[in-house]
Amino acid sequence: MNEYDSSKIANILAPVGYIRTEEIKEADLILINTCNVREKAEQKVYSLLGRLKRFKQRNPSTLIGVGGCVAQQKGESLLHRVEYLDFVFGTHAFFDLPEILAELSNGTRRACYTDLHYRFEEDRNVQPVSACGTEVKGLITIMRGCNNFCTFCVVPYVRGREVSRSAKSILCEAKELLKAGIKEITVLGQNVNSYRSPDEHLGFSELLELMNGLEGLQRIRFTTSHPKDLSPSLVSAFGKLSKLCPHIHLPLQSGSNRILKRMNRRYTREDYLNKIEDLRNVCPDISITTDLIVGFPGETEADFQETLDVLHMVKFDGAFSFKYSDRVPAKAVRFKDKISEETKSRRLRSLQAIQKDITMERNIRFERRIERVLVESRNKKNPLQLTGRIAGNQIVNFEGTEDLIGQVVPIRIEEGLLHSLRGRPALINCQGGAP
């Protein structure tokens, strides 16, 4: 989501003359787009700002702005804390940046722009964005905000209430991406399963169906789904829609019903396992990834063990796992029975060790198979190799020439590794058919 927003910001500023640079010395304007979903992400903002202090002393005319979730939450107090910061802009102020910058250049100093107002219609006037610096994959936000109020989470407070974007505007943006040569589109939202288009009254699976009909589009992905809203129609979409990739990111958070209840996730471990079974009935080889939190307040060894049990039962292809951290003003901040840092670290280590073996086992299943790989770019670590992804979203590296970038090519997988697969081109025709 942040990557998408950062690229959107660059595209919003392009018409008023700003060009993106990776070289800080060249910059007239430095924008830090922030995340505060976990404590660590927020700390990174302060350490980056600390590193910019001397730069600002030497280059006083370079404007520095902090935007996004930390900005939304901290507002004015960021200006007090960081005396060389020029301005703060919240999660809904991106489209106002040209005017904000004009005000700043007219003498307004040290301002804070953190009103929450949705202006999806403006997306239409901004160039769409490609993902991960590739020319092959694009991103589209289909909704903003969240209404779920999981007790650990700050998102509803910093991104506001859930609002879906019209299907018409999403399809327009998708067509723009396709015109620019994009082959794969990932649609984004905190809980895409509760998408409901405001004008056309379409649900998420109906939106996917419309996207599936777009000429030139090869692959569709989405993230993130909330298990409580994973509908039968979305499950069956995996069997029906030829361009929908067989991968779902379905955050479990905990395998203990007691903890899930305290997290206000509104599903049980059994509900979750049933949904996994439904998905695998429709699409037996689907890749499933998840998010897990260890050390949520009140989590006992028995609760933690229940999470590990689910890991063994489901065999996720991958898991992002985090130590719980307090995020003011989320409700769990006020829960009394906090878990010690030491216990959280121990649980995280043991969960990650178990998941590592499972991911290896899952990746090894591809060995000797021929997989269709959408080639994205050269492999940055090994320039002789190209890198791309199979439909299940696993990364594949193989030797090949640059003309393959943007194409779907058949690759024989030779080795399953922990973070990727290694393969070589297979000699079969790979046009049409599945993603």
Which option in ligand SF4, ligand SAH, none does residue 156 bind, with CB closer than 5 to 8 A by kind? ligand SF4
Residue 105 Cβ, how far from ligand SAH at the closest point, in Å? 36
Q: In angstroms, what is the minimal distance from the CB of 267 to ligand SF4? A: 11
How many C-beta atoms surround the C-beta of residue 301 within 10 A?
Answer: 9
Residue 159 C-beta: closest distance to ligand SAH, Å: 10
Contact between 260 and 254 (Cβ < 8 Å): yes
CB of 162: closest distance to ligand SF4 in angstroms?
A: 8
Stretch that binds ligand SAH, among 46-54, 266-274, 302-310, 324-332 (CB under 6 A): 324-332
416 binds ligand SAH (CB under 6 A): no
| Shortest Å distance, C-beta 343 to ligand SAH | 14
**Least distance (Å) between residue 146 CB and ligand SF4:** 3
Tell me which residue of 356, 345, 261 sits closest to 295, measured CA to CA.
Answer: 345
Determine the size of the site formed for ligand SF4 (CB under 6 A).
Answer: 10
Q: Does 153 bind ligand SF4 (CB under 6 A)?
A: yes
**159 counts as binding ligand SAH under rule CB under 6 A:** no
Closest approach of ligand SAH to the CB of residue 133, in Å? 22
> Is residue 190 within the footprint of ligand SF4 (CB under 6 A)?
yes
- Name which position in 247, 327, 344, 372 contacts ligand SAH (CB under 6 A): 327
Direct distance between the N- and C-terminal alpha carbons of the chain, in angstroms, rounded to an integer: 24
How far apart are alpha carbons 64 and 52 in whole angstroms? 9
The CA-atom distances, in angstroms, between 117 and each of 80, 210, 355 are: 25, 28, 41
The verdict on 226 binding ligand SF4 (CB under 6 A) reads yes
Least separation in angstroms between residue 222's CB and ligand SF4 is: 14
Q: Indicate whether 322 belongs to the interface with ligand SAH (CB under 6 A).
A: yes
- Between residues 293 and 421, which has the closer beta carbon with respect to ligand SAH? 293
> Under rule CB under 6 A, which residues in 243-302 are in contact with ligand SAH?
251, 253, 291, 293
Q: Applying CB under 6 A, which of residues 28, 117, 132, 149 lies at the interface with ligand SF4?
A: 149
Residue 86 backbone phi and psi in degrees, to 5: -90, -40
Q: Nearest-CA neighbor of 250 among 335, 191, 204, 164?
A: 191
Does residue 146 touch ligand SF4 according to CB under 6 A?
yes
Regarding 153 and contact with ligand SAH (CB under 6 A), the answer is yes
Bond prior to 329 in cis (omega within 30° of 0): yes
Q: Binding of ligand SF4 at residue 377 (CB under 6 A)?
A: no
Q: Which is nearer to ligand SF4, 92 or 362 (CB)?
A: 92
Give how far Cα 38 sits from Cα of 305, 315, 319, 383, Å.
Answer: 23, 25, 16, 34
Asked if 112 contacts 135 with a C-beta cutoff of 8 angstroms, the reply is: no
Residue 149, binding choice from ligand SAH, ligand SF4, none, Cβ under 5 to 8 Å by partner class: ligand SF4
What is the DSSP code (8-state) at residue 253?
A: B
325 binds, among ligand SAH, ligand SF4, none (CB under 5 to 8 A by kind): ligand SAH
Question: Which span (27-35, 321-329, 371-379, 398-406) binds ligand SAH, by CB under 6 A?
Answer: 321-329
The contact pattern for ligand SAH, residues 179-218, with x = CB under 6 A and - = no contact, is -----------xx---------------------------
Site residue total, ligand SAH (CB under 6 A): 17
Q: According to the binding rule CB under 6 A, does residue 3 interact with ligand SAH? A: no
Rounded Cα distance, 3 and 96, in Å: 18
Contacts of 408 (CB under 8 A, 6+ apart): 183, 218, 372, 373, 374, 375, 430, 431, 435
Shortest distance (Å) from residue 251 CB to ligand SF4: 7
Closest listed residue to residue 373, CA positions, set 218, 240, 185, 141: 218
Report if residue 249 touches ligand SF4, rule: CB under 6 A. Answer: no
Strands 184-188 and 163-164: unpaired
The helix-helix angle for 232-240 and 204-212 (nearest 10°) equals 10
Taken in order 253, 224, 243, 6, the sign of the CA dihedral is: negative
| Of the candidates 358, 347, 281, 345, the residue with the CA atom closest to the CA atom of residue 319 | 358
Please, what is the minimum distance in Å from the beta carbon of residue 118 to ligand SF4? Answer: 16
Nearer to ligand SAH, 175 or 228 (CB): 228
Contacts of residue 263, Cβ cutoff 8 Å, sequence gap at least 6 = 150, 151, 152, 253, 254, 293, 296, 332
User: Please, which residues bridge with residue 421 across strands?
Assistant: 396, 416
- Residues forming the site for ligand SAH (CB under 6 A): 37-38, 152-153, 155, 190-191, 224, 226, 251, 253, 291, 293, 322, 324-325, 327
